[in-house]
Amino acid sequence: MNNKKGNVFAIGICFFLFAMISFVTGLQNPMGIIAKAQFGATNLMSQLGNAANFIAYAFLGLPAGFLLKGKGYKFTALAAVSVGFIGVGISYLSGVLGSFPVYLLGAFVSGFSMCMLNTVVNPLLNTLGGGGNKGNQLIQLGGSLNSLAATIVPVLAGYLIGEVTEKTQVADVNLALFIAMAIFALAFVIIFFSAIPEPELEAAAAAGEQPKESVMDSVKGALSYKNFVFGAIAIFLYVGIEVGIPNFVNLYMTGAVAEGGLGIATAIAGSLVGAYWFLMLCGRLVGGAIGAKVSSRAMMTFVSTVAIVFVLLGMFLPETMTMSLLDAQVPVGMVFFVLCGLCTSIMWGAIFNLAVEGLGKYTSIASGLFMVMVCGGGLLPLLQGFVADKAGYIVSYWVIIAALAYTLWFALVGSRVNKK
């Protein structure tokens, strides 16, 4: 009974942690707006916090997997929430000190935590559910909370920031930072006192199991499959697409008119960006409902094509074509950018499914390599920011078009190839 109660608490906190992954990651979007105001950052520099957050995955993707395998769920989860608390705390200190480098350090450390949480939460929920349908159900519920948090954070941050002025600063979002730190602290206490099952560690200890293949041999084995190599590139670009579309909607809408922006209030822009993440939630629910009947390749082909159309409409519809949103006139093109959330929602699962097809025993190491490629969510927006500085916000979306063209090619061609 005690174990069951402990598992209930652990499941609950895993749901919160699932949400925290999006909450803390999503904060980098409005923090980019603050960086422009408080630290005088360019569009490129405003994406450095987001880049630092995602580049951390490149450093810790595989080590986090090894830590999980060697130390188990509980140890890795405790380490993840501890690092998360420290990372968000550093972000808070960056506002107190007024330091851009400290802000970047906070984003980087937070990225370590998000990588570790991503590595542990999915298999931990599956284990707590006893595997099978129940385990999958818990993961789906956690994923829904992940999308819900991603919907809330830009809206909350937008209202906390208010109108962007030269006085806008990190302190404006202290409430959001304090909420994150409190949840991390609570999570540590609950996980510490919860009995987390460790079936893999127990089985390995009982059998005296030793690895049959070295890590490098496993990596080489996974990379010998062309569909995985092409899929890893697709994941890199996909995460950049998912992050870049709403980030630059936010920057474009809140940017000063004199600098090529629309000069729209942060709260309104945040609400529209929040709608993007809400549509991702809707898309995931639809994808889950039809996933048993529609192939990953068909879904990926369809959403990549539609996303290209939506982005092109967002780019080429005249700025004078507007609609009323929360007492503001917003270009209709921004709505088409936001509609891309329906398309990006199912891309991760579809790409993963196509990329690991036929990998067999290399699937686990492939998952770790995929986590490394999440750094695309930091690097692609940097490129988009560079283009935005040189040629304007709308022109920067050609970066997104190019990335979507690759995901379409992967669905149609790259995912069909077999082992070298």
For the full predicted model, state whether its pTM sits above 0.75.
Answer: yes
When pLDDT is averaged across residues 353-366 and rounded to a whole number, the result is: 74
Measure Cα distances from 209 to 72, 196, 206, 237, 364 in Å: 15, 21, 8, 38, 17
Amino acid at position 150, single letter? A
Measure Cα distances from 370 to 21, 84, 229, 366, 395 in Å: 17, 21, 10, 6, 29
Burial (CB count within 10 angstroms: exposed 0-12, middle 13-18, buried 19+), residue 212: exposed
* Both structure tokens of 352: 């993963």
Token match 């089985």: residue? 203
CATH of 1-210, one of 3.40.50.1010, 1.20.1250.20, 3.40.50.300, 3.40.309.10: 1.20.1250.20
Contacts of 116 (CB under 8 A, 6+ apart): 60, 64, 67, 76, 79, 80, 83
Q: Residue 202: which pLDDT band, with cuts at 50, 70 and 90?
A: low
Query: Which of 114-118, 131-135, 249-253, 351-355 is predicted with the least confidence, judged by mean pLDDT?
Result: 131-135
Query: Which of 162-166, 236-240, 359-363, 367-371 is predicted with the least confidence, judged by mean pLDDT?
Result: 359-363
Q: Residue 131 pLDDT more than 60?
A: no
Amino acid at position 61, single letter? G
Higher per-residue confidence, 239 vs 70: 239
Beta-bridge partner residues of 325: 328
Which one of 34-43, 218-227, 334-343 scores highest in mean pLDDT? Answer: 334-343
When pLDDT is averaged across residues 398-406 and rounded to a whole number, the result is: 97
Query: What is the pLDDT, as a whole number, of residue 171?
Result: 87
Please, are residues 278 and 147 in contact by the beta-carbon 8 Å criterion?
yes
Q: What is the spatial distance between Cα 398 and Cα 377, in angstroms, rounded to a whole number?
A: 16
Amino acid at position 31, single letter? M
Please, are residues 335 and 282 in contact by the beta-carbon 8 Å criterion?
no
Query: Which of 55-64, 105-114, 198-207, 400-409 is predicted with the least confidence, judged by mean pLDDT?
Result: 198-207
Break the chain into its structural domains and give their ranges.
Answer: 1-210, 214-420
Q: Residue 411 pLDDT more than 70?
A: yes
Handedness of CA 77, 82, 83, 85 (dihedral sign): positive
Higher per-residue confidence, 41 vs 65: 41
Q: What is the spatial distance between Cα 366 and Cα 368, in angstroms, rounded to a whole number?
A: 5
Query: What is the pLDDT, as a whole number, of residue 346?
Result: 83
Q: What is the spatial distance between Cα 349 and Cα 294, in angstroms, rounded to a whole number?
A: 13
Helix 397-412 to helix 347-355 angle (10° resolution) is 40
Q: What is the spatial distance between Cα 340 and Cα 280, in angstroms, rounded to a whole number?
A: 8
Q: What is the spatial distance between Cα 406 and Cα 412, in angstroms, rounded to a whole number?
A: 10
Q: Residue 195 pLDDT more than 80?
A: no
Query: What is the pLDDT, as a whole number, of residue 233?
Result: 95
Q: Residue 15 pLDDT more than 70?
A: yes
Burial (CB count within 10 angstroms: exposed 0-12, middle 13-18, buried 19+), residue 203: exposed
* Both structure tokens of 292: 């048993």
Beta-bridge partner residues of 328: 325
Please, are residues 372 and 237 in contact by the beta-carbon 8 Å criterion?
no
Q: Residue 363 pLDDT more than 80?
A: no
* Both structure tokens of 70: 């060697």
Q: What is the spatial distance between Cα 296 and Cα 288, in angstroms, rounded to a whole number?
A: 11
Query: What is the pLDDT, as a whole number, of residue 14?
Result: 79
Q: What is the spatial distance between Cα 217 and Cα 70, in angstroms, rounded to a whole number?
A: 18
Q: Residue 56 pLDDT more than 80?
A: yes
For the CA atoms of 76, 83, 276, 297, the dihedral, rounded to the nearest 10 degrees, stands at -30
Q: Residue 181 pLDDT more than 70?
A: yes
* Both structure tokens of 50: 């987001």
Give tens-digit pLDDT for 83-93.
999 999 999 99
Write the DSSP string, 359-403: -GGGHHHHHHHHHHHTTHHHHHHHHHHHHHHHH-TTTTHHHHHHH
CATH superfamily of 214-420: MFS general substrate transporter like domains (1.20.1250.20)
Query: Which of 65-69, 204-208, 373-377 is predicted with the least confidence, judged by mean pLDDT?
Result: 204-208
Q: Helices in 2-47 by DSSP H: which ranges?
A: 2-38, 43-46
* Both structure tokens of 87: 């990372």
Q: Is 194 left (phi over 0), alpha (psi -120 to 50) or beta?
A: beta
Higher per-residue confidence, 374 vs 395: 395
Query: What is the pLDDT, as a whole number, of residue 76?
Result: 87
Which residue from 187, 193, 191 is spatially nearest to 88, judged by alpha carbons? 187
Q: What is the spatial distance between Cα 392 and Cα 141, in angstroms, rounded to a whole number?
A: 39
Q: What is the spatial distance between Cα 61 and Cα 370, in angstroms, rounded to a whole number?
A: 8
Q: Residue 276 pLDDT more than 70?
A: yes
Query: What is the pLDDT, as a whole number, of residue 208?
Result: 61
Which residue from 179, 153, 167 is spatially nearest to 34, judged by alpha carbons? 167
